[in-house]
Structure 1
Amino acid sequence: MTKLAIVYHSGYGHTAKVAEHVAKGARTVEGAEVTLLKADDLVSPDSGPWDVLQDADGIIFGAPTYMGSSSAVFQQFAEASSKTWMNQGWRDKIAAGFTNSGSLAGDKLNTLQRLSILAGQHGMIWANYGAFPGYNTSTADYETAWNRAGHMIGLGTQAMTDLPADQAPDKADLETAEDFGKRVADITARWVAGKT
């Protein structure tokens, strides 16, 4: 059994939708137990399901990109995790991250770097996405291409700002999210198996 936690913030529902698809992909890996947690419930180090994160073999962080960085609620969670950091509670766990914004690029790289630095602060092992960019040739189809913006450090998806969460992100980005979740669950399973 591999325990994977996905802790995310979603202001308008789009990032929550991505989180659900990351979880869907992760659950395709045999033996993967996946728990979704809202960062909103973890903004204090003394309340919320911190034990789930403690027991997890891997943690995937997810935040929308607002004004070029992770959302304030996610940052509250990150700062609340300092109590865990003091005890090195997440050291050597697998970590990964994803973000969503209204623009194709939208400074998502900055958010992904913040998530990876959070993992680094905790002594975690960062798992990148590593998928080939899907929209970088003249013959590529934007509507079906995975990893359209070519994010490698983590997953970046797009939700048009005038579309509600039941319409965005689109099918290709959600399939990309599932592929990302599967990759991180695979990496976590290999890590756990190697420790025994």
Structure 2
Amino acid sequence: MHAEAGVTVAVAYHSGYGHTERQAQAVAEGARQAVGSTAVLYNVAELSDELWEGLAEADAIIFGTPTYMGSQSSVFQAFAEASGSVWAAQGWKDKVAAGFTNSAGVNGDKLNALTSLSVLAAQHGMHWVSLGLPPGWLYSSAGSVEDLNRLGGFLGAMGQSPSDAGPDVAPSDADLRTAEHLGRRVAEVTVQLRHGAAELVQQ
């Protein structure tokens, strides 16, 4: 990890139609709200040296994928499999990780995609950060579609984009604010972990 006060958060995502990319941008914006933190977006559709070098330098990696047929996209899975050489060298061990996903259905088995992302992070020896929000909307009769975490996820940030809606209107503002919350939370947790590690070194 870097020596300066701020942290670098990498958002490694794939987006098939632009909806998950809007989520990724909201995640990055949230990460930048933490004091001294920066965020960089990486589209994993291109497995470039820039991608691997950026992820190696990052203090935290937030993974993002659309949910297709109940799981992550094949493009994201290709990236996950290509990270095998990083795994062999334990290159991402002890980095912070989190995840987000989007699908057309309100449920859409998004949890399965998030579970796959968390397992990927666990295999790399990373520290997974949950969403850290109570469920909104349908959790109580007083809920609203404008609530943060309106889809009631815990493992990561969920978004929903109707199949006939373009990325200019979906995901909803509530889902984008939920993604923003995740980015900010990851950056803040990463700063906390760094300060704790620095104190251990000084002891």
Aligned residue number for residue 30 of structure 1: 35
Q: 1:94 aligns with which of 93, 96, 114?
A: 96
Aligned match for 2:56, one of 54, 57, 60 = 54
Alignment of 1:103-122 (within 5 A): 103-122=105-124
Q: Does 1:141 align with 2:159?
A: no
Q: Deviations over 1:81-118 (max 9, x none)?
A: 00000000000000000000001110000000000000
SS in 2 for 1:49: helix
Offset, 1:164: 0.4
The alignment's TM-score, normalised by the length of structure 2, stands at 0.92
Partner of 1:74: 76
- State the match for 2:22 in structure 1: 17
Give CA deviations for 1:49-74 in whole Å, capped at 9, x if unaligned: 21110111110000000000000000
Q: Distance in 2 between matches of 1:52 and 1:192?
A: 19
Q: Which residue of 1 aligns with 2:201?
A: none
Query: Secondary structure of 1:161's match?
Result: coil
1: distance between equivalents of 2:116 and 2:135? 22
C-alpha separation in 1, matches of 2:16 and 2:91: 28
TM-score normalized by the length of structure 1: 0.95
Write the distance in 2 (CA, Å) between the matches of 1:85 and 1:179. 28
Identity value in percent: 49
Deviations 1:136-186 (A, max 9, x none): 1111122x1111121001111101111000010111111111111111111
8 Å contact kept, 1:61–1:96: yes
Counterpart code for 1:24: E
Match of residue 123 from structure 1: 125
Residue type at the aligned position of 1:37: Y
When structure 1 is superposed on structure 2, of 47-56 and 78-87 the one drifting more is 47-56
For structure 2, the residue ranges without an aligned partner over 5 or more in a row are 1-5, 199-203
SS in 1 for 2:94: coil
TM superposition shift of 1:134 = 0.9
Q: What is the alpha-carbon distance in structure 2 between the residues aligned to residue 113 and residue 49 of structure 1?
A: 23
Aligned with 1:5 (options 10, 19, 44): 10
SS class of match (1:74)? helix
Q: Is the 1:57–1:192 Cα contact (8 Å) retained in structure 2?
A: no
RMSD: 1.0
Q: How does 1:169-188 map to 2 (within 5 A)?
A: 169-188=171-190
Q: Given that residues 56 and 92 in structure 2 are in contact (C-alpha distance below 8 angstroms), is that contact kept between their aligned partners in structure 1?
A: yes
Q: Report deviation, 1:48.
A: 4.2
* Partner Cα separation in structure 2 for residue 167 and residue 64 of structure 1: 16
